[in-house]
Amino acid sequence: MSLLSLDHKAVARRYLWSGLGFLLLGGLLALAIRWQWAWPGQPVPGLAWALPESRGALTPPTYTAVFTMHGLVMIFFAVTPLLFGALGHFVLPLAIGARGLAFPRLSALGYWVYALGGVLVLASFAVRLGPASAGWTAYPPLSTSAFTPGLGQTLVTVAVLCAGTSAFTYGLNFVVTVARCRAPGMTWGRLPLTVWGLFFASVLNVLFVPVLAAATVLLLMDRLLGTQFFIAGAAAVGGGGDPVVYQHLFWLFGHPEVYILILPAWGMVGDLVAFFSRKPAHGYRLTAGAMGTVSALSGLVYAHHLFTSGMSPLLGRSFMVLTLLISLPAEVMFLNWLMTLWRGSVRLTSPMLAALATMVVFGLGGITGLALGAVATDVPLHGTLWVVGHFHLTMGAASFLGVFAGLYFWFPKMFGRALHEGLAKVHVLSSAVLFLGVFGGQLAAGYAGQLRRLYDPYQYTYLKHLLPLNQWTTVCAFLLGAAQVVFVVNLAWTLRRGRAAEANPWQVGTLEWTCASSPPGEGNFTQVPVVLRGPHALSQPEVLERLGRDWIGQAEVLPGVARQDTAEDAVPASEGTVSTVGRVT
Amino acid sequence: MSAERNPMGDKAETRVDSTPHSTSGALGMKPLPSVSDARAEPSSLEASTSSATAETANAEGTAWLGTVLGLAAWSMFFASLAFAVGWYRMREPWPSLPVSLLGLGLTGLLLLTGSAVLHLGLQRRESPWPARCALALGLGFLALQAMWTHQAWWTEHVRIPEGGVSASAFHGLTALHALHVLGVTAGLFFVCWRHARGADVRASLRRHVLGWHFVTAMWVLLFVAVYLP
Amino acid sequence: MSTSIEGKSQPSSNTSSATSARTLALPEDASVDGHRIDALLGWSHRFEAGMAALALGWMVVAVWRFRNAKRAASDGGTKRSRAWVFGLALSTFLVVDGALLVGSEGYLRDVLWNLQVPATDPRTVRIEINAHQWSWEARYAGEDNRFNTPDDVVTWNDLRVPAGVPVWVQLVSTDVVHGFSLPNFRVKLDAIPGRVNQTWFRAAREGSWEVACYQHCGTSHYRMRGELRALSQEAYVAWLREAGRQAVQAYDVDDSAAHWGWEWKAP
């Protein structure tokens, strides 16, 4: 499809390639950091051309740029575009029975704004003073021009605005699409959980990206125009501003952002676990409600990132309580997933393995967040690699594995070909194990006190003994990088010579699988489906009896049923009623 | 792009389009697409079949919802700025602005007048004058805001960086708001232009009017947060 | 969880914690009150292990037992199963989060946000710290007990405190945001330009430990290392007196940059 196509599937593909490209860049930057912690000051193999004066070794200024760009690239240019840009744009209209997004031109524009941001990010590497180096969080005053002069930081700040603008537009697009473009009979209660995840995440995008925009614009004005919003202390002129205001605004965006990055993955896990247990998701409404509750609370917990900033005790206590509270809906949702497996017929396909792996890493990551949510236990852990391990498990590993769960699941639909299932499973399992190795190693190092963002942790005596741990973690990281080659090989080979995929290889009932070809044509459906039931109508007795299979499409007419009515449940209410079939709202 | 037959869509349509002037207008409208949607219906000036009209009305309802939600969400941008300003002012009171408060208020009055004019104008069908009037008011607003900022900078020496955070907020937030007004005014200009060339811009105009109301409301926020002592 | 086995107090040794600290242990705790945090962390690990075992175990058992099962249940849960899920989540939440909340609140009330202890203790040592790129500058009030006077003792990357008494720290920065951390005393506090943050701690015994910066503050952030020495009361007083005497002699009334101290802020 041409680069100018407005079709949501074409836009999704653009995001997919860009996202994967930036994922590679972000991953390489991570490996550079890990190298430095394992072999401090040693030349990094293959980097001599980029760092000639040090013969390829990272220097302190280079190191600050590397960890900054790793975070920025991964969050704004890799994970988000893969989850929302690639998977979200592709799946959402199909799954709700729409012919496209509500605003196709806006979706195409959103991609190009994101791409512009990507270009700025890449350009910043070529700037003489280097790219951004104040951390992905870019706290002022460090990130103002007084302490980080140069074009690099400015370019990256503008790039973040571009990525944010893109997110706002597709967030709006998704919300309106779900609200207005659902096929007849597709009530809110019949939406796949993936759609719920994308919907809630889009609501958060739309509400909180403007807050990031405000913080970033004010910072940009401080950098370029000499304003004093965030400058205090010796660099301030005429009664300065307050750097803490930036922290509040940034994290008011930043915390919902981490939920934005995980909600689609949660939704996908909910669906995949049901599909590959061949039974309806346990507690569909409870899960959707839990996702909604987490979204609602997400903006109210943000200041747990500021526990050490000297906040008033009242604020500190309030945020502690709210932060701990958010674990309740997450636990409900997790238990629902586990209950879905129970008494199901579990099929360990590659998407299912990825979904289970997502559960494992997310569960572990979430648990390690509890100690960070209580102020007292946060004090020794704040700013250490425990925090890094926590968010890498939840945001890096879980979102990443969620992306791959989605890719492995929807690849046949997107490209009309089937990936090699064996290679896919090898990729998922090795990645999951190695994720645990790398981020578990980070947790351990952080617990022992290793602070973040240190070029050379070992010049602190109390951290000297962590060198062997860091080396081991680095080995895991390099192996993790190598494991991704399996995916690349699978992808490249399949696109070139893979066998054609069936229309519904996973044998599930959602609309993209039952009413559209692989890949779907323009307009997605030959005729708009009329939805009759929920997304997890699996192993239903009438279906087994009349059709001889354990699945039925959401819009499929069940022969022999007297009345097919979009306005009522087709399944009689009884003990063990399928709770996924909703009523018209 | 909305589905062809969407019973809920019609319901939603009625709910959203509850303002008195629009629903009756929708059926009598020429079925030219004025939505930001690429898959435009064929641009025919003849009276359409009822299904095409329903489609257009549906698409317009979608565009309207997008505008409402988008603007409501974007108010978070200004709310964040107001939060920052409130923080600074609670920490330490600011010197009062050397620019006439009455002058700033009257400048804002232009926006408020524009809101009223546009609102009334939406009820009068094909007249271009409310929109053109608003255009003039918008440009007037921008000119006056530029004048106050100019005066503050050169005459009253409210400057960046010497003026500290209060000067930064005055100039910075005034400029950010003005950029939004510029955007809305430019949009309104293009609506007037398309109307002059014979297009049916009613739905588009309604959305731009909402944008105008938005910048007016944000001006009130700006006034209270930054200008008022 | 458990602290390391090291316990020697050699004022000038830098190797005391390096050789004997166990990899998976918190940094050695040399503070009077830090054990409360360590104990709470210990509990959090027990909870973590329990929850992880339960969740992982359940998943493994379910996959094992129901892999390719002939028939799958057809319901998405009953009222009872949903209630059970909610009940399990709620009780786990109340127990685990409740314990963390209550334990943490105790520490906050008694220690972290309880500045009455250092404020009312006559032996309290007050230190003003000015964080720079990339060093820690500390100011003691000297014998006149007032800050920003000629007898103030100002040190670089060198904190000396008496063991066993409250040390009350007020912290500023004049350039960027820094993070003042005493890993062995469970102390962390942001140094933010434009505001004065405060905290306090007590050294449990004499010895030599490190000061670290935990907030990224520029290229040499990793080298913002200081040393904290806990001395006996006599040694501390002797040092302060001698250092104060030298400070008075070296005092330069024109060096305004050196007079960065402030009047002690009320808690």
Residues in contact with B79: Cβ distance below 8 Å, sequence separation at least 6, in sequence order: B221
User: Is residue A249 within 8 angstroms of chain B, CB to CB?
Assistant: yes
Within the 473-532 window of chain A, which residues sit less than 8 Å (CB to CB) from chain C? none
When CB atoms are compared, the residue of C59, C90, C104 closest to A341 is: C59
Residue C30 corresponds to which amino acid? A
Tell me the C-alpha distance between B53 and B26, whole Å: 8
- pLDDT for B101 beyond 50: yes
Cβ proximity of C177 and A142 under 8 Å? yes
Domains of chain A: 8-347+354-497 (1.20.210.10)
- Three-state secondary structure call for residue A538: strand
User: Is residue C137 within 8 angstroms of chain A, CB to CB?
Assistant: no
pTM (two decimals): 0.90
Percent of chain A with pLDDT over 90: 89
pLDDT of residue B19: 36
Phi, psi of A21, rounded to the nearest 5 degrees? -60, -45
Smallest CA–CA distance, residue C34 to chain A, in Å, is: 9
CATH tag, B7-227: 1.20.120.80
Chain C residues inside the 8 Å CB shell of A147:
133, 175-176, 218
Phi, psi of A451, rounded to the nearest 5 degrees? -85, 160
pLDDT of residue A575: 37
When CB atoms are compared, the residue of A176, A182, A236 closest to B66 is: A176
**∠ Cα C139 C143 C148 (to 5°):** 40
Instruction: Return the HEC string of chain B.
Output: CCCCCCHHHHHHHHHHCCCHHHHHHHHHCCCCCCCCCCCCCCCCCCCCCHHHHHHHHHHHHHHHHHHHHHHHHHHHHHHHHHHHHHHHHHHCCCCCCCCCHHHHHHHHHHHHHHHHHHHHHHHCCCCCHHHHHHHHHHHHHHHHHHHHHHHHHHHCCCCCCCCHHHHHHHHHHHHHHHHHHHHHHHHHHHHHHHHHCCCCCHHHHHHHHHHHHHHHHHHHHHHHHHHCC
**What token pair was written down for A442?**
């980070």
User: Is residue A346 within 8 angstroms of chain B, CB to CB?
Assistant: no
User: How sure is the predictor about B49, in pLDDT bands with cuts at 50, 70 and 90?
Assistant: low
**What token pair was written down for C36?**
């409360």
User: How sure is the predictor about A3, in pLDDT bands with cuts at 50, 70 and 90?
Assistant: confident
- pLDDT for B10 beyond 90: no
Within the 396-415 window of chain A, which residues sit less than 8 Å (CB to CB) from chain B? none
Interchain contact, A343 vs C73, CB within 8 Å: yes
Tell me what the mean pLDDT of segment B26-47 comes to.
39
**What token pair was written down for A8?**
């949501």
List all chains that touch chain C, counting a touch as 3 or more CB pairs closer than 8 Å.
A
Within the 46-85 window of chain C, which residues sit less than 8 Å (CB to CB) from chain A? 47-48, 51-52, 55-56, 58-59, 62-63, 66-78, 81-82, 85
User: How sure is the predictor about B124, in pLDDT bands with cuts at 50, 70 and 90?
Assistant: confident
pLDDT of residue C23: 66
pLDDT of residue A2: 67
Smallest CA–CA distance, residue B181 to chain A, in Å, is: 17
Smallest CA–CA distance, residue C226 to chain A, in Å, is: 9
Least confident piece of the model among A258-267, A508-517, B161-170: B161-170
pLDDT of residue C22: 58
pLDDT of residue B229: 86
Chain C residues inside the 8 Å CB shell of A231:
193
User: How sure is the predictor about B100, in pLDDT bands with cuts at 50, 70 and 90?
Assistant: confident
For chains A and C, count residue pairs whose Cβ atoms are closer than 8 Å: 325
When CB atoms are compared, the residue of C69, C197, C219 closest to A64 is: C219
**For the segment A369-407, what is each residue's pLDDT rounded down to a tens digit?**
999 999 999 999 999 999 999 999 999 999 999 999 999
User: How sure is the predictor about B31, in pLDDT bands with cuts at 50, 70 and 90?
Assistant: very low
Least confident piece of the model among A44-48, B181-185, B206-210, C240-244: A44-48
Select the residue from A228, A242, A248, A282 to test the C interface by mutation, using most C Cβ atoms within 10 A: A282
List all chains that touch chain B, counting a touch as 3 or more CB pairs closer than 8 Å.
A
pLDDT tens for chain C, residues 1 to 267: 443 333 333 333 444 444 445 568 999 999 999 999 999 999 999 999 999 999 999 999 999 999 999 999 999 999 999 999 999 999 999 999 999 999 999 999 999 999 999 999 999 999 999 999 999 999 999 888 999 999 999 999 999 999 999 999 999 999 999 999 999 999 999 999 999 999 999 999 999 999 999 999 999 999 999 999 999 999 999 999 999 999 999 999 999 889 999 999 988
Of all residues in chain A, the one with the smallest CA distance to C21 is A465
- What ipTM was estimated for this complex? 0.91
Tell me the C-alpha distance between B122 and B202, whole Å: 8
- pLDDT for A538 beyond 60: yes
Smallest CA–CA distance, residue C242 to chain A, in Å, is: 29
Of all residues in chain A, the one with the smallest CA distance to C101 is A374
- pLDDT for A271 beyond 60: yes
Chain C residues inside the 8 Å CB shell of A243:
177, 192-194
- Average pLDDT of chain A is 93
Radius of gyration of chain B (CA): 21
Residues in contact with A73: Cβ distance below 8 Å, sequence separation at least 6, in sequence order: A22, A25, A26, A29, A121
- pLDDT for B199 beyond 50: yes
User: Is residue B165 within 8 angstroms of chain A, CB to CB?
Assistant: yes
- pLDDT for A565 beyond 70: no
- pLDDT for A1 beyond 70: no
Paired residues of A417 in beta bridges: A500
**For the segment A76-118, what is each residue's pLDDT rounded down to a tens digit?**
999 999 999 999 999 999 999 999 999 999 999 999 999 999 9
Tell me the C-alpha distance between A335 and A366, whole Å: 13
